[in-house]
């Protein structure tokens, strides 16, 4: 009688406990903004977790954000054993090792704004920031919610600086003080507080400051050393002066300024000032750009009423898809033109800067394999909409991951799609006016037109490289688990080879019809990511087992089989552990288009020997893509 499969049992038990833990964390955070929980008796099956929502992001909104994050973390690449997810307004960590009892704040994430306040005022400004955060720390530790936010006037730069601190609610006053105090004491060493903003985010406590109000101002907000009379009016005039770039903008700001004065006389003027600052930032960073771009051929500024009518008031029947940044709706303009309107959620992590980033890029980048941007629409702080050409066949994932539609994609069609994606990436990397790294290449971001031509979409987190720079280091890791290159996920090194890695993963998905984070068994070994499974098949000469059976229908002369083998080999070359071993996109195109070209033999693929966390590493666990992940999606 064979020995029982203990690993499978353990995995099933851990998954069950992780799902129970997710329910505990979501329910607890919905009620109290933070939650700590466990499920299961002991390792390796037990799951431990902590979740925290920002103090102004509470109730159902908090619960939805955490539920989406947990669902993605649990399902996208199965059975991670040690995961930390940091978003702009919520965060969580879960593990199969008990990390709760010590109240550790690790792992911590440090991020600085890139703008310097100026050498002459730096020291005084640093003192102002430190004083504000210390006062907020005392307030947060003494409050039941362990959250405090406030503003302090900085005479050095003649405007307020905003700060926020928070601990998980289960911490005592002493523990919260200790956690935040430890972060503050490390700030001079770990962060340059001469910059206009920054944050240190940890599992148990968070510290942040900015020059713009980034939280909701209410009656619990602290107002420290705020001026009155002429000095305050001077600040408003300064804020308006930044925004007033033209006559039309001047009229809008003047009307808003009058409304602010009315609200001030009524008493609760803080909220109005926050709205003015948001409006000023929007004008400064976005509207000027849009008005310049409006003169470009094919780019339009739409009225909100126009888009609302075109989409039948954003009806559910017209919804094409929904993601973390918002929903996409089909619409038809009065002239008969069909559009796809991406309506960014008001609470979306893709804010005005990401919106501006996408407009800057897509409005200027023109290629047959990039989605065409038609225009955009903004109404106040809530409505931000990007308008694209309509793609009748929606996105690639609706074909390759749906059993009923996989058969539609014959191998020639799949090869045509792969070639289109390759052509689009080559243009971004080498042939456009600037080098662009997409950073979120995946099946749902590949749109298909009526002729099944592939078009790359969603440039909200793309990165531009100028001059001769070929890579950069970043403290802001963005993208989708399963597609992120190892050097980017672990060390923050971003380059065109990051996109090459994602392309390789995507090609494996197109060939196989399997998701990158699925569960796959090779003989007696288990694999939790497609890369490891594909490499194992390739190494054993069984690459044909990877292919979706519908790819080989009607392949009487064996040509499809030959190209499938070549594409699998190219994909594995693209997902090599070392970025230097991956081909550039021009090499990839040559490899795919030249049947007579001899291809190098791929080395062992990335993530093949990574084991799932500390506890599992001690055991004789099979290879998988379970890695300790800290996923950061923090918009500025």
Q: How far, CA to CA in Å, does 597 sit from each of 272, 399, 538, 600?
A: 65, 31, 19, 10
How many whole angstroms separate alpha carbon 613 and alpha carbon 80? 8
Pick the catalytic residue: 11, 96, 440, 458? 440
Q: How far, CA to CA in Å, does 371 sit from each of 419, 437, 551?
A: 15, 16, 26
Does 20 belong to an annotated binding site?
no
> Cis (ω within 30 of 0) for the bond into 44?
yes
In the sheet that 34-39 helps form, which strands lie side by side, from edge to edge? 34-39, 47-53, 90-95, 82-87, 629-633
How many whole angstroms separate alpha carbon 610 and alpha carbon 337? 49
440 assigned to active site: yes
Work out whether strand 147-154 and strand 222-224 pair parallel, antiparallel, or are unpaired. Answer: parallel
How many whole angstroms separate alpha carbon 476 and alpha carbon 496? 16
CB count in 10 Å sphere of residue 137: 23
How many whole angstroms separate alpha carbon 166 and alpha carbon 112? 18
Q: Which two tokens stand for residue 197?
A: 């903003």
How many whole angstroms separate alpha carbon 61 and alpha carbon 484? 28
Q: Which two tokens stand for residue 32?
A: 């109290």
End-to-end CA distance of the chain: 59
How many whole angstroms separate alpha carbon 47 and alpha carbon 496? 37
**Contact status, residue 341 vs residue 387, Cβ threshold 8 Å:** yes
How far does Cα 529 stand from its chain's mean position? 20
- Binding-site members are 342
Catalytic residues, by residue number, are 440
- Binding residue ranges for ATP: 342
């Amino acid at each position: 009688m064979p020995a029982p499969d203990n690993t499978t049992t353990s995995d099933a038990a851990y998954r069950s406990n992780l799902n129970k833990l997710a329910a505990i964390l979501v329910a607890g955070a919905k009620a109290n903004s933070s939650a700590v929980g466990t499920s299961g008796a002991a390792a390796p099956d037990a799951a431990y977790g902590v979740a925290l929502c920002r103090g102004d992001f509470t109730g159902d909104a908090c619960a939805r954000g955490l539920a989406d994050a947990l669902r993605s973390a649990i399902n996208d690449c199965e059975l991670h054993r040690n995961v930390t997810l940091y978003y702009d307004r919520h965060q969580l960590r879960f593990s199969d090792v008990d990390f709760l009892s010590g109240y550790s704040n690790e792992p911590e994430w440090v991020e600085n704004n890139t703008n310097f306040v100026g050498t002459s005022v730096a020291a005084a400004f640093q003192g102002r920031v430190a004083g504000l955060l210390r006062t907020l720390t005392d307030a947060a530790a003494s409050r039941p919610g362990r959250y405090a936010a406030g503003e302090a006037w900085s005479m050095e730069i003649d405007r307020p600086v905003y700060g926020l601190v928070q601990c998980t609610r289960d911490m005592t006053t002493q523990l919260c003080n200790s956690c935040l105090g430890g972060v503050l004491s490390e700030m001079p060493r770990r962060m340059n507080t001469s910059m206009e903003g920054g944050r240190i985010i940890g599992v148990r406590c968070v510290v942040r400051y900015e020059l713009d109000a980034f939280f909701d101002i209410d009656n619990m907000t602290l107002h420290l050393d705020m001026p009155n009379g002429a000095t305050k009016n001077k600040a408003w005039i300064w804020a308006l002066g930044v925004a007033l770039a033209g006559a039309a903008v001047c009229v809008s700001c003047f009307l808003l300024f009058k409304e602010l004065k009315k609200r001030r006389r009524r008493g609760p003027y803080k909220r109005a000032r926050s709205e003015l600052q948001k409006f000023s930032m929007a004008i400064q960073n976005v509207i000027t750009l849009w008005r310049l771009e409006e003169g470009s051929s094919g780019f339009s500024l739409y009225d909100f009423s126009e888009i609302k009518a075109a989409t039948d008031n954003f009806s559910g029947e017209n919804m094409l898809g929904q993601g973390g940044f918002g929903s996409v709706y089909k619409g038809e303009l009065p002239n008969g033109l069909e559009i796809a309107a991406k309506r960014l959620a008001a609470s979306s992590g893709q804010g005005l800067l990401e919106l501006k980033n996408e407009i800057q890029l897509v409005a200027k980048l023109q290629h047959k394999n990039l989605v065409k941007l038609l225009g955009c629409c903004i109404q106040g702080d809530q409505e931000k909409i990007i308008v694209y050409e309509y793609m009748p066949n929606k996105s690639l994932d609706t074909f390759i991951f749906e059993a009923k539609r996989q058969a539609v994609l014959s191998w020639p069609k799949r090869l045509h799609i792969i070639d289109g994606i390759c052509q689009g990436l080559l243009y971004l990397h080498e042939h456009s006016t600037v080098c662009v790294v997409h950073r979120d290449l995946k099946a749902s971001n590949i749109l298909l037109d009526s002729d099944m031509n592939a078009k790359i979409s969603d440039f909200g987190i793309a990165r531009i490289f100028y001059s001769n720079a070929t890579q950069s280091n970043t403290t802001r890791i963005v993208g989708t688990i399963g597609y992120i290159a190892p050097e980017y996920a672990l060390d923050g090194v971003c380059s065109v080879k990051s996109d090459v890695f994602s392309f390789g993963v995507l090609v494996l998905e197109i060939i196989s019809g399997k998701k990158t984070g699925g569960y796959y068994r090779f003989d007696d070994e288990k694999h939790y990511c497609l890369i490891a499974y594909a490499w194992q098949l390739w190494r054993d000469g069984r690459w044909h087992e990877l292919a979706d059976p519908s790819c080989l229908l009607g392949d009487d002369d064996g040509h499809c089989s030959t190209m499938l083998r070549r594409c699998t080999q190219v994909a594995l070359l693209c997902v090599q552990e070392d970025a230097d071993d991956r081909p550039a996109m021009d090499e990839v195109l040559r490899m795919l288009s030249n049947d007579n070209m001899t291809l190098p033999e791929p080395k062992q693929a990335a993530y093949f020997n990574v084991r799932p966390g500390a506890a599992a590493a001690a055991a004789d666990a099979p290879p998988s893509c379970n890695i300790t992940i800290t996923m950061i999606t923090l918009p500025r």
